[in-house]
Structure 1
Amino acid sequence: MTTRILLSALALAALPLAAAAMPQVGDMVGTNPEDATAALAGFGCTVDEFEAEDGMIEAKCTDETGKMWEVYIDPADGTVAQIKDED
């Protein structure tokens, strides 16, 4: 009984972390703006704009806490190549 209560409490405590999870390097988000915007939104990252930078697609986005991020997407395969804290 105690174990079940502890596991339930841990699962509830982890929910906000799961909701605010950012994409990771290697995650597939797509190469067109519609797909990338939808995929990043699924990670809790609202896209503000896209730019081309150093041969990559740069998505500037805001997470659920209001923190700004730069997500670099490989235009050849649509995977996340790099993530930078914009602050």
Structure 2
Amino acid sequence: MRPNATPYDGNWTYWATRKGQAIGTPTRIAKLLKKQKGKCKWCGQYFTPSDVIEVHHIVPRCLGGKDVYNNLQLLHHHTRDDKTALD
């Protein structure tokens, strides 16, 4: 744990990545942050508290993908647009 870190310090990405939960963070996003070790699956960069994070289906729902954790990934908003264009 980081010295002087608390769950109330506003760094929700750190806490979600560490614990799989964070105050004010939806459970699905917190669990995926922990699973992905705080990184975007597309660009590999760490998420920061100011980032816009998108939940993205690995196999699109229109192609039969399900809305389950093993078919979901977190992406930065701008990289989601790039990935969606390639899908």
Same-fold call, TM cutoff 0.5:
no
- Between 1 and 2, higher relative CO (CA 8 Å, sep ≥ 6) is seen in 1
Where is the strand percentage greater, Structure 1 or Structure 2? Answer: 1
Where is the helix percentage greater, Structure 1 or Structure 2? Answer: 2
TM-score (norm 2): 0.28
TM-score (norm 1): 0.28
